[in-house]
Structure 1
Amino acid sequence: MRISDFAVPDTLAACGALSLARQYQSPAITAHALRSWLWAEAFAEVDGIRNVDHELLYVAAVLHDIGTVGPFDNHTLSYEHAGGHVGVALTAGAGWEQPRRERVLEVIVRHNWPRVDPAMDAEGHLLEIATGLDISGARPDALPEDFRREVLAAHPRGALAAEFGACVLDQAARKPDTAARRLVDGGVVAKLAANPLETL
């Protein structure tokens, strides 16, 4: 398994998502988003999940944390809902029909669920387990070590643990009824620091 096995969608929406991410997010958060996409595609391969909308998965992965940055942070909505609405706006501009635009919102919101049934939402499930690996270190040995090393070399973790830890603490404090509070209560800050990807 290699990065080259997974082609970045050459579409207006995919290019726009990456452009937005690079403009508004820190390098560490954008690298996290790109690793999450690659982990998601790899999990689809090893778990035998078919019929994946690869463009939808890419756009959702690249934008899944954009609701944490100042210009898109919503004072009442959870960061995943805020980011999902950025995805809806972007894909509307790219000409997606409304049902598929709504799927971007669903996938981004569901990445913060404790579990997503792949039979209900393949892309939401893949993003949930991919971010589970990149943030909390879940299923670290499910993907080949050489592939994990290649992804980390291409998209280094940098200051992700400190940046995302501070971000989710802030979100939980300001919006205690959102998923950020559950993540904090579940020990996400310690999980970030102890993630085996940090020392691979």
Structure 2
Amino acid sequence: MIDFPRTPAATAALTVATRFCSPALLNHCVRSYLWGTTYAASHGIAVDDELFYVSAMLHDMALTDSFDSHRVSFEQAGGDLAWVFGIAAGWSAERAARATEIIVLHMRDDVAPDVDPEAHLLQVATSWDVAGRRPEEFPAETREEIVGRYPRQGFSSEFIACFQDQATRKPGGAAAASMASDGARRIAANPLDG
């Protein structure tokens, strides 16, 4: 199994996610890191491991009650939170801004790995864990190991409810676009839930 980064910022990000995320959302964040790291290794993508880990742990924090913004899209609010987290962790403003970019871009159009490897990995990992996109990238053995250690715990239904709520309150956001393009059906049909 892939080892997690052991830096103070990485440890703090896991502590924050554990404190504020539901068990299903926390496991999604951990799985997102693991899927992304697995994909990076199989495709030879060099990645800043600490930056990717922190971004993966914090990418959905704005779906939680404590950090939900009623006016700002969840990915932008989560990115802003990651910037604050990074500064508090002692990162430079530039490094903290990278965490913001990664989190915001993971909900945008595909980003090429040579343009932004961490955002690309978060896109690949979350689209697989949420909606089952690119199943060919993740062999059955890898799926069993990761989901066995970090079970889904009703993640799909919880995530659909979060996105429907976001779509209702923020019709211009990425969650609304996902729901309008049959996102709930894709999430419910994820092969990881089968």
**Shorter-chain TM-score range:** over 0.9
C-alpha deviation, 1:148, in angstroms: 1.0
Q: How does 1:1-200 map to 2 (within 5 A)?
A: 3=1, 6-50=2-46, 52-199=47-194
Q: Gaps spanning 5+ residues in structure 2: where?
A: none
Q: Gaps spanning 5+ residues in structure 1: where?
A: none
C-alpha deviation, 1:160, in angstroms: 0.6
C-alpha deviation, 1:141, in angstroms: 2.1
User: Which amino acid letter does the alignment assign opposite residue 16 of structure 2?
Assistant: L
* More off after superposition, 26-35 vs 179-188: 179-188
Tell me the percent identity. Answer: 41
Give distance in 2, aligned partners of 1:128 and 1:20. 22
* More off after superposition, 185-194 vs 128-137: 185-194
- The answer to whether the Cα contact below 8 Å between 1:79 and 1:171 also exists between their aligned partners in 2 is yes
Q: In the TM superposition, what whole-angstrom CA distance separates every residue of 1:99-123 from its partner, at most 9, and x where no partner exists?
A: 0000000000111113112111000
Q: In the TM superposition, what whole-angstrom CA distance separates every residue of 1:20-75 from its partner, at most 9, and x where no partner exists?
A: 1111110000000100000000110112212x100000000011100111111112
User: Which amino acid letter does the alignment assign opposite residue 68 of structure 1?
Assistant: L
SS at match of 1:141: helix
Runs of 4+ in 1 over 2 A off after TM superposition: none
- The answer to whether the Cα contact below 8 Å between 1:88 and 1:102 also exists between their aligned partners in 2 is yes
User: Which amino acid letter does the alignment assign opposite residue 18 of structure 2?
Assistant: R
Aligned residues: 194
CA RMSD of aligned residues (A): 0.9
- The answer to whether the Cα contact below 8 Å between 1:16 and 1:90 also exists between their aligned partners in 2 is no
SS at match of 1:70: coil
